[in-house]
Structures are given as structure tokens and as C-alpha cells.
Amino acid sequence: MVNKKQTADLIPYKLESGQILVYLQKRTADAPILPGQFSFFGGHMELNEKPEDAMIREIQEELCFKPQNYEFLGSFEYPDWICHMYMEKVWENFENDIKVMEGEYGKFLSPKEVLNEKLLSNNDKKIISALYKKVLRNEV
């Protein structure tokens, strides 16, 4: 079996006016992966690192925030890598309380903005769709 690269990422989200807003990173034009695109905060796992530990480490590095009330969303496998995704419901002024250390900036996107965003990969849109489904099941 060929070892695939693995990443561990977090999608902070909040509920506002009946919509699920997801907080994504606008990557820099010189980023090695998905340059200039919107994507998740997180990153590559180190050797023998557990996905949960990698996600917490990466989010502390990238957002100066320690996830505490996160849930595992799922592992999504692609031809070259495996993405372990977590989600966390955040508070009203989250974006004002954290500090974005990687990428150009972070931004909350509505479902309509996610659907229409040309700088967001279809793979990421599928992961966000899984988040929507899980949140809606939990909110019922």
C-alpha cells in the first residue's frame, strides 16, 4: 500500500439568520497548495501524529485559537491524500477574537457564497456539504 499524505483541518462555523456560515481561509497567491483559493484552516500531519492532535496544533499555529468543542466530521480520501476533517461551532464575534497567521485572511461564507465561489474547489464544497448535513441533523 502506498502511503498517502494526510491533512487534518477544522471548519469553524456559526448559525446566523437560519444559515450555516463557514469560516474559510483565502490562501496567498504563492501558497504551495491551492494558491489564491479559499480552503480550510489546518495542514499536514507529522510522522506518527494523530489527526486530532495535528488539527489542534495547526489551528493554534494558523488562528491563535485552541479548538475545544470540535466534532469529527469525517475522513475524505482522494487519489493523493486523505483529509481528516473536524468542525466546531464558534461564537458570534469569532473572527474578531482570533488572529489569522496564514493566508491572506479568513472569511465567513454563506451557503450561497460557498456554492457560487469560483475560488473554492469542488472537493472542498463536498466536504462543506457534509458539514451542512451533519449540522442540520444535530439542530433538529
CA-based end-to-end distance of the chain? 41
Neighbours of 132 (CB within 10 A): 15
Please give the Cα distance from 24 to 117 (Å, whole number).
12
Query: Could you write out the three-class secondary structure of the chain?
Result: CCCCEEEEEEEEEEEECCEEEEEEEECCCCCCCCCCCEECEEEECCCCCCHHHHHHHHHHHHHCCCCCCCEEEEEEECCCEEEEEEEEECCCCHHHHCCCCCCCEEEEECHHHHHHCCCECHHHHHHHHHHHHHHHHHHC
- Residues 38-48: tens digit of each pLDDT: 999 999 999 89
Res 3: pLDDT: 79
Each residue's pLDDT expressed in tens, for the chain with a length of 140 residues = 357 899 999 999 999 999 999 999 999 999 888 889 999 999 999 989 999 999 999 999 999 999 999 999 999 999 889 999 999 999 999 999 999 999 999 999 999 999 999 999 999 999 999 999 999 988 75
pTM of the model: 0.94
- Residues 69-91: tens digit of each pLDDT: 999 999 999 988 999 999 999 99
CATH classification of 5-139 is 3.40.50.720, yes or no?
Answer: no
